[in-house]
Copies of this chain bind each other. A is one copy, B any other.
Amino acid sequence: MMKRYGSVEAGGTKFICAVGNENNEIIISEAIPTTTYEETIKKVIVFFEKNRVDALAIGSFGPVDLDISSEQYGCILNTPKQGWTNVNIVLPIQKALNIPIFFTTDVNSSAYGEMHLNGCNNLVYYTIGTGIGGSAIQNGVFIGGIGHPEMGHQLIKKHPLDVNFNGVCPLHGDCLEGLASGPSIEARTGKKGQELEINSTVWDIQAYYIAQAILNTTLVIRPELVIVGGGVMSQHHMLDRIKMHFKKLLNNYVTIEDIDKYIKTPSVENNGSATIGNFLLAKNLLIKN
């Protein structure tokens, strides 16, 4: 019989549940608003009780505990989202459905999907939205020794036209997220990214920072491919700006054969690569068992 795989994209605004077939095609999906922990998880369980799957992968907003040997495995850790700190989002679903569950970060799910869609084994994924998240895969294995990456908080150099801006990260001020996330645009200009005129120098400043992040992970990890997604990247001019800065900053130090194939936006709209990534991660559980 054809197997069915489940995906949960656990986000701060909504939990997207989906069921896929062996070909990663979505059979049914539902967006559940993120309300209280109990109510949200209950609705996820109800969805999968109605729509049975053989295995499930959950990609969650973070930080999360991914260490299977830890007591907190499956928990969302210290999140600013009220009522969601130290709640376990794997255990109750596992108990109710009694199927294998793979638990990871939302960016890891997206990265895994993109790896498959691009047919490669080594990739870095950045999402530039309300926060900045990052994921890396080497030879099909997620990078993250004692925890998942937190690439959004790396430190980078200031743009000459941005020296007086202190950044919006509550913890670090001018880390990457503090300087290049969506809210940093609003802090600089008083306008949301979707409203800011295309010829504002702020775009170039943002692109300069994102290019540095890509450069740093290029030099640390040496991936085959870098995907940049998230709300801010819906500005289509951003990709070219990032590539331009990346090229200039790298100055040919390592060989990137074709920059248009090296830095790309996601293959599927609306973070659909996370769903596919989850289907594949769920499938892996059955292969391994």
Q: Which A positions have Cβ atoms within 8 angstroms of B?
A: 63, 121-122, 134, 136, 138-139, 141, 143-158, 171-172, 174, 212, 215-217, 219-224, 249, 251-254
Closest Cβ of chain B: how far from A128's Cβ, in Å?
A: 16
User: Roughly how many angstroms separate A23 CA and B151 CA in the complex, as a whole number?
Assistant: 39
A141 to B146, CA, bound (A): 15
Q: Are A146 and B224 in contact (CB under 8 A)?
A: yes
A168 CB → nearest B CB, Å: 15
How many identical subunits does the complex contain? 2
Pair A148/B215 contact, Cβ less than 8 Å: no
- What is the minimal beta-carbon distance from A266 to any residue of chain B, in angstroms? 19
A-B contact pairs, 25 of them (CB 8 A): A63-B254, A122-B146, A134-B220, A138-B138, A138-B141, A139-B145, A143-B143, A143-B220, A145-B224, A146-B224, A147-B222, A149-B221, A150-B253, A151-B219, A154-B215, A155-B156, A155-B157, A155-B249, A156-B156, A158-B158, A171-B251, A171-B252, A172-B249, A216-B220, A221-B221
* Interface contact B254-A150, CB-CB below 8 Å: yes
Option from B158, B223, B253 in Cβ contact (under 8 Å) with A172: B253
Judge whether B122 and A223 touch: CB under 8 Å.
Answer: no
**Apart from A146-B222, A151-B219, A155-B156, what are 4 other A-B pairs with CB-CB below 8 Å?**
A143-B220, A147-B254, A150-B222, A153-B253
User: When chains A and B are docked, how far (Å) is the Cα of A150 from the Cα of B153?
Assistant: 20
| Contact (Cβ within 8 A) B222 A144 | yes
With both chains docked as a complex, state the minimum distance between the C-beta of A226 and any C-beta of chain B, in angstroms: 11
Q: Tell me whether A138 and B143 are in contact in the complex, defined as CB-CB below 8 angstroms, given that A153-B219, A215-B155, A217-B220 are known contacts.
A: yes
Q: Which residues of B contact A152 (CB under 8 A)?
A: 219
Which residue of B156, B158, B221, B253 is within 8 Å of A145 (Cβ)? Answer: B221
